[in-house]
Amino acid sequence: MRYLTDTGLRWHCTRIDPAFDHVLFTPYLVHDAIERRDFNSRCLKYEDRDWNVNHEGATAYLGKRRQRKDRMLRVYNMRGYNRCEGEFSGPWARTAGRALERTPVDQWPVLGVELIRGMVDFVDSTASERIERCPLLPWWNDFVGDAGKIRQLDDEDRRKKLEDDRQTAIGKSEQRIKRAALSLWPILEAYGDQYLTTRIRYYAEGRIRQEDEQFREQLEPWKYSGFAGLPKGVPDDDVPF
């Protein structure tokens, strides 16, 4: 990697998967821990779990296979042994790539564990009501040792991720509005926005899916961004006291 940089070639990482073969914990053990919510993560939720068993073996996921997230963990035994593998894409791949470039090769395994720990730790959630105070589960503690955590993107990647998140969320919002605009326009003009809002809520109640909640969470940070007709700046009556 350093050779590529030193020779002046332009390159960038699009995905990095640190993998550890012959780990002493199984996908079943990881799956059970996830089901008990015995994990601490800022980027992955219980709803992001996935599980697959077939004739080749079993795979436990935290971060769904078809979900657009830039970090994911999978543990599987499809080759006859247990493998723990992180997946880092987008801005996290670029941050990981720079870290690999400046780290001696013999330290790459430690760096891989630090990247994975920055994504998730498996903990004993019964030890405390505050998940960040819970001790590591013994099998996870044996794996990570005294490795630290890489939780932050590099500054330039953090700015790029924010911009990508904004464009994705607001772009999807605009597309949905655009598709429905003509069919809803007569109702809006005849009965007003309050009536239309009330009826949308009425028909949506009880039918909200997990992906709908996730999309709402993606939209909320840009409520006062000033983009696509949104207000710019938080109004006085929306500031908590």
pLDDT at residue 6, as a whole number: 62
pLDDT at residue 240, as a whole number: 40
- Specify the amino acid at residue 67: Q
Is the per-residue pLDDT at 147 higher than 80? Answer: yes
More confident residue, 235 or 230: 230
Token representation of residue 143: 């794996």
CA distance 106 to 50: 33
pLDDT at residue 239, as a whole number: 42
Of the candidate ranges 11-15, 139-143, 189-193, 208-212, the one whose mean pLDDT is the lowest? 11-15
233: alpha, beta or left? (left if phi > 0; alpha if psi -120 to 50): left
192-231 pLDDT per residue, tens? 999 999 999 999 999 998 888 888 988 998 888 888 888 8
Token representation of residue 160: 């790029």
Report whether 163 contacts 169 (CB < 8 A).
Answer: no
- Specify the amino acid at residue 123: V
Which has the closest alpha carbon to 151: 121, 123, 114, 112? 114
Q: How many of the other CB atoms lie within 10 Å of CB of 145?
A: 8
Strands (E), 78-215: 83-89, 121-122
pLDDT at residue 152, as a whole number: 86
Residue 21 neighbours by CB under 8 Å, 6+ apart: 81, 82, 83
pLDDT at residue 165, as a whole number: 78
In residues, how long is the chain? 241
Cα 28 to the center of its chain, rounded Å: 22
Long-range pairs, 73-77, Cβ under 8 A, ≥24: 73/44, 73/116, 73/119, 73/120, 75/23, 75/25, 75/26, 75/27, 75/30, 76/27, 77/26, 77/27
Give the single-character DSSP code of 74.
E
* Domain chopping of the chain, boundaries: 2-144, 155-223
Exposure of 116 in the CB half-sphere (CA atoms within 13 A): 27
pLDDT at residue 207, as a whole number: 92
Of the candidate ranges 67-71, 87-91, 127-131, 140-144, the one whose mean pLDDT is the lowest? 67-71
153-189 pLDDT per residue, tens? 877 777 777 777 788 888 999 999 999 999 999 999 9
Report whether 200 contacts 212 (CB < 8 A).
Answer: no
52-108 pLDDT per residue, tens? 999 999 999 998 777 678 899 999 998 889 999 999 998 899 889 888 888 999 999
